[in-house]
């Protein structure tokens, strides 16, 4: 059943009016909801794109960014439970993947409907400890070098000390969300999980993405993409097709049963 689009600070572009199913997308470190704006034209019209906007960036740039996964996931879960009606799925890339995972666990604690599917990319499974960069203690030149190595940051940002100084507090918070995350064992999620692994990503290997299987009692699927840490963005048409295939039951009604 098609549903109305609802806008909130967490979902500034709405929840996909007229769509049978929503896809909530959580961004990587330093990015905001606009990282997924282009996906709206690549997904079938029965999937409503709903990019997530954490505090401290873009439309929420005057807010203090959160530097822990727990409070971020808990606050987003309250918003999702109130604003998203009908079936939905969740996608997260890099830091967004661990936030997406903890969002699902927060929703479960609330007793709210879970997503019909969790998609993750560019992030080792939560039970595998993340490497640290020491970003908090870096000067701007060191920060630029780390961002250049990670990829995904425009050259005009890397060459501007003013821009680097502006985004430094946000990056410190976002990297803390990722690197200071400590996994707490809970029951696996009772929803299907799909992981996208980039074959040349030194930050999250194929084997580390495959380890996400332990976090689901349902079907687990691993897709390998040619490229580096941002392959999931660079291979967007392929990713969109795989997401649509996973969410389409083949019955003409899409994935319309929401697990609890």
Tell me, letter by letter, the H, E, C secondary structure of the chain. Answer: CCCCCCCCCCCCCCCCCCCCEEEEEECCCCCCHHHHHHHHHCCCCCEEEEECCCCCCHHHCCCCCCCCHHHHHHHHHHHHHHHCCCCEEEEEECHHHHHHHHHHHHHHHHCCCCCCCEEEECCCCCCCCCCCCCHHHCCHHHHHHHHHHHCCCCHHHHCCHHHHHHHHHHHHHHHHHHHCCCCCCCCCECCCEEEEEECCCCCCCHHHHHHHHHHECCCEEEEEECCCCCHHHHCHHHHHHHHHHHHCCCCCCCCCCCCC
Q: Across the chain, which distance is largest between two alpha carbons, in Å?
A: 55
Predicted local confidence at residue 253, as pLDDT: 38
Predicted local confidence at residue 165, as pLDDT: 84
The percent of residues in the chain predicted with pLDDT above 70, rounded, is: 92
Catalytic-role residue among 29, 94, 178, 216: 94
The percent of residues in the chain predicted with pLDDT above 90, rounded, is: 67
Task: Name the average pLDDT for the chain.
Answer: 90
Averaged pLDDT for residues 165-181 = 88
Task: Write the CB contacts of 95 (distance below 8 Å, at least 6 apart in sequence).
Answer: 27, 28, 29, 123, 174, 175, 177, 178
Predicted local confidence at residue 208, as pLDDT: 98
Predicted local confidence at residue 257, as pLDDT: 44
pLDDT digit string, tens, across residues 104-148: 999 999 999 999 999 999 999 999 988 776 766 778 888 888 778
Pick the closest to residue 56 from 27, 23, 36 (CA basis). Answer: 27
User: Which range has highest mean pLDDT (95-109, 134-148, 172-186)?
Assistant: 95-109
pLDDT digit string, tens, across residues 196-230: 999 999 889 999 999 999 999 999 999 999 999 99
249 pLDDT more than 80: no
Report the alpha-carbon distance of residue 49 to residue 88 in Å, rounded. Answer: 10
Predicted local confidence at residue 101, as pLDDT: 99
Predicted local confidence at residue 162, as pLDDT: 86
The answer to whether 91 touches 101, Cβ cutoff 8 Å, is no
Predicted local confidence at residue 260, as pLDDT: 45
pLDDT digit string, tens, across residues 30-76: 899 999 989 989 999 999 999 999 999 999 999 999 999 999 999 99
Predicted local confidence at residue 173, as pLDDT: 92
Predicted local confidence at residue 3, as pLDDT: 57
Query: 29 an active-site residue?
Result: no
- Measured at the CA of 61, the angle between CA 139 and CA 4, to 5 degrees, comes to 140
Q: Place 256 in a pLDDT band, splitting at 50, 70 and 90.
A: very low
Averaged pLDDT for residues 140-163 = 80
Q: Place 252 in a pLDDT band, splitting at 50, 70 and 90.
A: very low
The answer to whether 84 touches 90, Cβ cutoff 8 Å, is no
- From 105-109, 148-152, 177-181, the region with the lowest mean pLDDT: 148-152
């Amino acid at each position: 059943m098609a549903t109305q689009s609802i806008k909130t600070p967490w979902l500034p572009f709405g929840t996909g009016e007229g769509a049978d199913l929503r896809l909530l997308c959580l961004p990587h470190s330093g990015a905001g909801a606009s990282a997924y704006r282009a996906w709206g034209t690549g997904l079938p019209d029965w999937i409503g794109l709903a990019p997530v906007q954490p505090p401290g960036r873009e439309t929420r740039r005057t807010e203090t960014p959160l530097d822990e996964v727990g409070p971020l996931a808990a606050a987003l879960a309250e918003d999702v439970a109130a604003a998203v009606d009908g079936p939905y799925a969740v996608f997260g890339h890099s830091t967004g993947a661990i936030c997406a995972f903890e969002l699902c666990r927060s929703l479960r604690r609330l007793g709210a409907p879970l997503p019909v599917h969790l998609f993750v990319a560019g992030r080792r499974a939560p039970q595998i400890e993340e490497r640290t960069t020491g970003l908090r203690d870096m000067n701007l030149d060191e920060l630029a070098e780390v961002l250049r190595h990670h990829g995904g940051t425009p050259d005009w940002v890397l060459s501007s000390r003013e821009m680097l100084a502006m985004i430094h507090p946000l990056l410190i918070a976002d990297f803390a969300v990722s690197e200071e995350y400590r996994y707490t064992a809970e029951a696996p999620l009772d929803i299907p999980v799909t992981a996208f692994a980039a074959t040349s990503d030194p930050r999250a290997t194929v084997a580390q993405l495959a380890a996400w299987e332990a976090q689901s009692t349902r079907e687990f699927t691993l897709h390998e993409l040619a490229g580096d840490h941002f392959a999931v963005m660079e291979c967007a048409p392929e990713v969109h097709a795989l997401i649509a295939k996973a969410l389409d039951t083949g019955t003409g009604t899409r994935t319309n049963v929401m697990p609890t």
